[in-house]
A and B are shown apart, each in its own frame.
Chain A
Amino acid sequence: MQPEKFYYDNKIVRNFGIATIVWGIIGMTVGLIVAIQLFKPGMNMGNQYTTFGRIRPLHTNAVIFAFVGNAIFMGVYYSLQRLLKARMFSNILSQVHFWGWQLIIVSAVITLPLGLTTSHEYAELEWPIDIAITLIWVVFGINMFGTIFKRRERHLYVAIWFYIATFVTIAVLHIVNSFELPISAFKSYMVYAGVQDALVQWWYGHNAVAFFLTTPYLGMMYYFLPKMANRPVYSYKLSILHFWALIFIYIWAGPHHLLYTTLPGWAQSLGVAFSIMLIAPSWGGMINGLLTLRGAWDKVRDDVVLKFMVVGLTAYGMATFEGPMLSLKQINGLAHFTDWIVAHVHVGALGWNGFLTFAILYWLIPRIYKTELYSKKMASFHFWIGTLGILFYAIPMYWAGFTQGLMLKEFTPEGMLKYPSFLETTLRIIPMHMMRSVGGTLYLLGVIVMAYNLARTMAQGKLVANEAAEAMPLEPVTATTDGGSWHRKLERRPIPLMVGALIVILIGSIIELMPTMTISSNVPTIASVKPYTPLELQGRDVYIREGCSNCHSQTVRPFRSETERYGEYSKAGEFVYDHPFLWGSKRTGPDLAREGQKYGNAWHYNHMLDPRLMSPGSIMPNYDWLISQTLDTTTTRAKINAMRKLGVPYAVGYENQANADLNAQAQQIADNLGKDKIKVKSDKEIIALIAYLQRLGVDIKANKTASK
């Protein structure tokens, strides 16, 4: 048989590579801005499009889906072709994939600052973009499997198992977490409510980390690390064990994001138990990587690319040990909602995803341009300033997390909260936040140096757009060649492998999600909890638009320190009309679940105008546009109808009367403000927001008074 000649497509790899660098710089710059906003409210730039609540999701989306996303596609398109000895299935699909993905990112860059958001973390994009993501993901899948089917290599290498698991799981996660009911071209309500919505969201959120930030990167590690070090992979058996264990166990761990909330206890405990079991499978990847470097440690000393890999793998090991520890209830009770979590995710993002991406870029760009790296010194500088950046980022944030977490829990001997004002704890950690932005600046600086270095590398070389290669055509499988272990056999069968991965991830998903979704006793109802009035509903959508839940949680945990500070702890029945849930995941400001009736309307009005009037030293941005902007009441009808469709008991025909009720309630609030010499028209957005805030957590109190 004659070897066949074919060409690897390097151009698509290069395109994804450039996109990775460009979006990386943009995403990290936005990250730096939001970091500075946390100690200098002026950095919100006095307009609604650049406030923390709106651009923090932009930062997370840009670094996860634009920077890391493009890096994944770069790594997959490069390694897949070579591991399968075949060109990508379709040039057109590759192009559609590339441009489609960039278009999705651009639409995120436009819609998120406009306040178009579902409020689901890491899934903020609204329903038309969700559909676009689904389509492009399918294009990616067809292109990948098309390449697999025309391969010239019978066995699928471990990297490809990880790519396949990534593909199927992200598809499942994205679709289930995007069940939304559109009410207009760019606004939708989540189909699930309250605790169910929270469970779906964190099953998604946790596994986006698993199957977008972890599995594709493990796959890339398995291809690029042995290539870079020119060493065999340490253990094939370990690859098999940790691959299946990782994808099976990861999917269960989502509820550890919801400890001490109203999620049923059994689901919380499952989340904790599986998080602990996740340590070994995660470390399997790290040790298989680090032990692959056995006999090559002398190279690590000289080769900056391997240095990036080693620090990246170590960061992965640290983050995947810390994660399970944070899942333990006792530690979670202190750490959750604080900067500790922010530090944790950044060790993973900056160390693991960032450093692996940089290593791959430094290794791959000179190769596809048939040249040497422009400057090794600059790359070395990047490594050191990047490492320093991670330290300067993480250490102050751990410190801030401990400090604030402990302060919020401290009592005086009289049994009073030692720091009853939340703001006092915020002010205490401002120096740490300043340090953190220094760390971020260092890290960003390194990336900019890399961009320059790689641009010069590209300029001095010439892209080999189509790289010639040769391989023997695939021989048909016969009874004699179909030997080996069961796994060996599975490696020759891509579809059963994919189905196997799908079944493995569905087991945990179904066992955890279904009972909470279908058994009503898991969400005990409370009679006094009533649907929002039309004005409150509109106010809630202003709250969502402004991204308030990026800094304010809405769930009081059953701790003495929280019930003393905020009021009675939250009950599942309180959230049954919340499509979507708005519990948040970080308390940069205090919890708002019991905010209703705590302060007067005038307090809220002044506080939104300039938070520092009511809370001196506050780092919250001004929301003065809420006072000048008129509330759009044309959507009320569609919103009431959508809510009814989702099971909220508005009477049939109420949509006709809703705006009249809305105006009456708004007038009441405006009149009340007038008594405090605040002149504001009743049709402004601020009125709706005040109405919503004054309603928060009130219903359950009504229950108390009635039963007394």
Chain B
Amino acid sequence: MKQRLLTTLTVLLLAQQSFAEDSLLSAETKNYIGFGAIIGMLLLFLATLLVLLRTFKVLTKAVLKLQGYTKQQIEAELKPAKKEKKPKSEVWQKLLSLKPLSEEKDILIPHAYDGIHELDNPTPSWFMVLFYGTIIFGLGYLMVYHVFGTGQLQDAEYKTEIAQADAAKKIYLSKAANLVDENTVKAVNDPAAIAEGKAVFKASCAPCHGENGQGVVGPNLTDEYWLHGAKITDIFKTIKYGVQAKGMPTWEKQLSPKQIADVANYIISIQGTKPAGAKEPQGEKETVEKLALN
């Protein structure tokens, strides 16, 4: 038995070491494995103890038999008569510090208010535990945040949250192909990208620029006149950062770089479509080179 335990321990320890080296497993997975190992160990202990208990019983029986006890005597020795169990409700009443109703007259306060009597019951002990418990919690809470300084107040908590998020984002973006920005964006005529862009346009841009880019509050996007440049990099930049003075919001926080690029490509694709109700031209004349769809 002892040997078995030792082997298990060694295996677990070794296993943990190998997990540590394996960077493919995330910290979370490792945690789960750790918990699993601990629970597994506990279960093993339990099983061992049960087996031991059984062994002792068998041994006792054998020893008693050797000493000349009869079978009945042995049974009586091993299973002493159980104490009378208290009725369940009584246990319950004790737990709640309740006195039986029959004793109520002893604790009745004689004075009555408009016929209302009061009992002189003590405050239930569980209630006092709860009360003192919350007071200790409250004091502890204040200590943690304002005396020991171990708890983070909101400004510090915010910094931590942002730092963690930035780190996670960096790792993700280094893997994903989502690194496009206003310097690297390329005009493409990929129908899938343009369709994506169209969907985003309908949802986010149409209220101001019109369903077909004809212009409503915002300018017409289908004519040859541009306020902030007609190059794909310019359009990308206008969408990403917005133009505060003219009421164009920034979309950096709402659209991913890929989505912004798609919308920019969609806008190029609708050049010269002359939709109904087009707004009058604004800005400089600038021709956009439209790539033929392949």
Contact = CB atoms under 8 A, between A and B. Distances in A.
Interface string B115-139: 1111111111001001100110111
Contact of B115 (A227, A266, A569, A601): A227
B172 A413 contact: yes
Interface in B270-289: none
Nearest to B173: A414
Contact of B176 (A227, A268, A414, A614): A414
B217 to A, nearest CB: 4
Given A276-B134, A415-B172, A269 B142 contact: yes
B162 A235 contact: no
Interface string A221-237: 00100110000111111
B138 A598 contact: no
Contacts of B108: 232
Nearest to B129: A280
Nearest to B140: A273
A625 B247 CA distance: 24
B116 A233 contact: yes
Given A270-B142, A277-B138, A603-B217, A235 B122 contact: yes
B116 A599 contact: no
A287 interface: yes
B101 A295 contact: yes
B145 interface: yes
Interface stretch (A181-189, A238-246, A386-394, A475-483): A238-246
Contacts of A602: 217, 247
A235 B169 contact: no
A606 B218 CA distance: 12
Interface stretch (A24-32, A306-314, A368-376, A416-424): A416-424
B114 A83 contact: yes
B116 A223 contact: yes
Interface stretch (A39-47, A344-352, A395-403, A559-567): A559-567
B167 to A, nearest CB: 10
A223 B116 CA distance: 8
A96 interface: no
Given A277-B135, A603-B247, A235 B121 contact: yes
A558 B122 contact: no
A414 B146 contact: no
A614 B116 contact: no
A260 B154 contact: yes
B34 interface: no
Given A233-B119, A600-B246, A414 B172 contact: yes
A225 to B, nearest CB: 9
Given A276-B141, A597-B244, A234 B111 contact: no
Given A226-B116, A279-B130, A606 B217 contact: yes
Contact of A560 (B137, B138, B165, B255): B165
B210 to A, nearest CB: 12
B127 A280 contact: yes
B45 interface: no
Name the residue in A233, A273, A614, A615 with the highest tally of chain B Cβ atoms < 10 Å from its Cβ. Answer: A273
A294 B141 contact: no
Nearest to A564: B253
A237 B121 contact: yes
B228 to A, nearest CB: 14
A68 to B, nearest CB: 24
A234 B114 CA distance: 16
Interface string A546-575: 000000000001111001110001000000
A153 B142 CA distance: 45
A599 B141 contact: no
Contact of B131 (A245, A295, A563): A245
B207 interface: yes
B20 interface: no
B139 A273 contact: yes
Given A82-B114, A153-B113, A613 B256 contact: no
Contact of A598 (B101, B161, B173, B249): B249
A676 interface: yes
Interface string A594-633: 0001111111001000000111100000000000000000
B155 interface: yes
A23 interface: no
A412 B253 contact: no
B128 to A, nearest CB: 8
Given A283-B130, A415-B173, A569-B158, A235 B123 contact: yes
B256 A232 contact: no
B46 interface: no
A273 B207 contact: no
Contact of B118 (A233, A245, A676): A233
A136 interface: no
A447 interface: no
A265 B158 CA distance: 14
A325 to B, nearest CB: 12
A165 B164 CA distance: 49
Given A415-B173, A421-B254, A558-B154, A233 B141 contact: no
Given A232-B118, A420-B253, 16 more contacts: A83-B113, A157-B114, A232-B104, A232-B116, A236-B118, A238-B121, A268-B154, A273-B142, A415-B165, A415-B168, A415-B172, A559-B158, A565-B253, A597-B244, A603-B217, A676-B217
Interface of A: 79, 82-83, 85, 153, 155, 157-158, 223, 226-227, 232-239, 241, 245, 260, 265-266, 268-270, 272-274, 276-281, 283-284, 287, 291, 294-295, 411-417, 420-421, 557-560, 563-565, 569, 597-603, 606, 613-616, 676
16 contacts: A155-B113, A157-B113, A232-B104, A232-B118, A235-B121, A235-B122, A235-B123, A236-B121, A245-B131, A276-B137, A281-B131, A415-B169, A560-B161, A599-B249, A606-B217, A616-B207
